[in-house]
Chains A and B, each alone.
Chain A
């Protein structure tokens, strides 16, 4: 019995324990479900916040990319970490995010993806590499306050004119304007005229103006009273007896060409019996030669050639040549002015004539009037005096008159370029002998003529690789001529002067042509495609003749003219005169501060693609194409 009661007690305890455990388990499961629900709801709420953060992060990526592109048109992929998330941005120059082709080559899709935990957001923008005004085929800022009345030529695509547009002018349905017009649309909030940052262009022009190696040409100024340069007798020049060929050349600027009271001697060698001279008298320039003795050539009285085609206070180039023998022959003696022969006459070789050599003074010479005494000093400036023991031909003279010599040219016996700019010695800078001159009585140093071919300022029938220049910058502190040549970039051609490109020259892509003066481009190819374009910045008169340009033309001078030329890209014109002559066609966009003058019906402006100028700073800010923001 006792045993039986003990058993009953055990069973009751088991039941109580089992019931308690069961209730505990049920409550635990319920608590678990509540906890799980709470966690799930908290996570759901957290997704909203994470989504907001991810969107903001994607926009941060877009902003990062925009700044990167604006700085240097860089389209490298960009990525970053921010607020425990990651963003990555890519650029697509061809398609949008869905793979559809972009409408213009200057448009670029910027795609940003941001990820925070497992939340991903995608955004895209479309940017244009050019300011908004370049969305028009023609944008006329109308700085002159004129009605757009152009009826010649063709403008295709949306056009804007900041003023009145006369009926039948412009593109018809695509015309917009800010005042009144017919057949178009009033545009109340047009894009502004683009803002051009010229900092880079002007800095480069400043560099060109002070570039090392720039040739600042100096000369000697003579007062006409007693200044002169004395050169000692020399076997190279006047002593000895076998001077069969001679060339004497110089640049001069006379103060008063019309003096008749005396002869202004620019150069003389020898004496009254034998010699050569160059002088000015009574408005004319004379070159003379003589060798009087009967026992020699009997070149008596001698030959004097003259021209009146000179001006006071103007630089001219004069040349005397002699190619004579033992006796007098015709056409042995010639004279040239500014590269053109103005006369020829009899001559012979010169025997020993040690009468002295002088620049700007007559020591003992003979004039066309037969006298020996009506000489005085020269009043003006002289530069680039060159003495040769050969007869230079007309083409040789023309090729070298506008540039400096190396000093080792064949036949060169004395070369006075007056580049010392100080002191009293006129160095003979030819390398084959030494005939230095002494500067007497205070002849002063001054600027010489600006010679177009100085400072390697002329490239003809050659290849220019800009990579061979420091910083890929060809800097010219004078006028620069490129003819029949090929220029390879990337790089810069910067000219502190005028730039002339001609004769089937090809300027390849990614090159800046910057010039402070006039630019003339004729019969040439500038840029080779929209992907290999050129930026041209000029501040003087701009003339494009029979040429093709791929790129951007920025004209800041007084006039811009395209004549029988084609432009693929854009024009930003500040000039008050802008004309299209003949069959000139522009495909891209034209932004002009003034109107445009179509000089004939064959010219056209058609909206088209514009280069993206990737990797280049062109001074124009890109824009976000309105309406292009998309979350996808």
Chain B
């Protein structure tokens, strides 16, 4: 009888310890999964933004872009726009369809958004309503600067982007 009690007590102690270990492991797993999901979401969103910006066909296609909006038209003629906004939304639209969310974890208030530079590396400040035609044509370089926030985690991603097409000159009507 005593032996059985001892066994039960031992099993209980070991079981409690195992349960605690399992709980800690599970907690770590869940937290890490969430963190990795957050990182992946932020990284893939930013990666998509970078890629499409690198495919910008002509500086003039930056028209209407500003700190919160980035308009891109690729060499195929596909129009794409990226929008950041409160509350913490980072959306993407192809053509004139509906917007799709790239991330719900954008730290909108903490993000610098989109910045545009001319060939002297001076900032081109968009007029009200975004870059006008004249301003857009002067854009030589863009900077993407977004911060993503998830609970206690903050991830800032930024990059200058010099679209590949800009290396080959500006597309003009006589090229068509």
Contacts and interface: CB of A to CB of B under 8 A. Distances in A.
B123 interface: no
Interface residues of B, number: 40
Given A26-B18, A48-B43, A158 B174 contact: yes
Contacts of B43: 48
Interface string B1-35: 00110010011001100100110011011001100
A143 interface: no
A49 to B, nearest CB: 11
Interface string A15-34: 11001100100110010011
A537 interface: no
A132 interface: yes
A197 interface: no
Contact of B173 (A15, A44, A158): A158
Contacts of B18: 23, 26-27
Contacts of B47: 48, 51
A135 B3 contact: no
Contacts of A157: 174
A37 interface: yes
A274 B104 CA distance: 121
B75 A627 contact: yes
A98 interface: yes
B7 A629 contact: no
Given A15-B7, A16-B10, A626-B168, A30 B76 contact: no
A44 B41 CA distance: 11
B25 A627 contact: no
A8 B32 contact: no
Contact of A626 (B51, B76, B169): B169
Contacts of B40: 44
Contacts of A629: 55, 57, 75, 163-165, 168
Interface in A372-407: none
A450 interface: no
A52 B78 CA distance: 22
A514 B115 CA distance: 54
Contacts of B54: 631
Contacts of A12: 3-4, 7
Among B11, B26, B47, B75: residue with most chain A CB under 10 A? B75
Contacts of B163: 629
Contact of A628 (B25, B29, B75): B75
Interface in B30-80: 32-33, 36, 40, 43, 47, 51, 54-55, 57-58, 74-76
Nearest to B173: A158
Contacts of B58: 626-627
A248 to B, nearest CB: 67
B3 A627 contact: no
B153 interface: no
Interface in B135-176: 163-165, 168-176
A18 B164 CA distance: 65
Nearest to A16: B7
Given A23-B14, A33-B29, A630 B74 contact: yes
- Which of B11, B21, B28, B174 has the most chain A CB within a 10 Å cutoff? B174
Contacts of A37: 29, 32-33
B32 A628 contact: no
A240 interface: no
Given A9-B3, A48-B43, A627-B171, A19 B14 contact: yes
Nearest to A128: B175
Nearest to B165: A629
Contact of A132 (B76, B165, B169): B169
Contacts of A132: 169
Nearest to A14: B7
A27 B24 CA distance: 12
Nearest to B171: A627
B139 to A, nearest CB: 14
Contacts of A48: 43, 47
B172 A8 contact: no
A16 B14 CA distance: 10
B11 A34 contact: no
Interface of A: 8-9, 12, 15-16, 19-20, 23, 26-27, 30, 33-34, 37, 41, 44, 48, 51, 59, 98, 103, 124, 126, 132, 135-136, 157-158, 160, 174, 176, 189, 623-632
12 contacts: A8-B3, A12-B7, A27-B22, A30-B22, A37-B29, A59-B164, A135-B172, A157-B174, A158-B173, A626-B169, A627-B168, A629-B75
Interface of B: 3-4, 7, 10-11, 14-15, 18, 21-22, 25-26, 28-29, 32-33, 36, 40, 43, 47, 51, 54-55, 57-58, 74-76, 163-165, 168-176
Given A19-B14, A26-B22, 4 more contacts: A27-B21, A30-B22, A30-B26, A626-B172
What 10 pairs across the A-B complex have the smallest Cβ distances? A627-B171, A630-B75, A158-B174, A627-B57, A626-B169, A624-B168, A626-B171, A629-B164, A629-B165, A135-B174
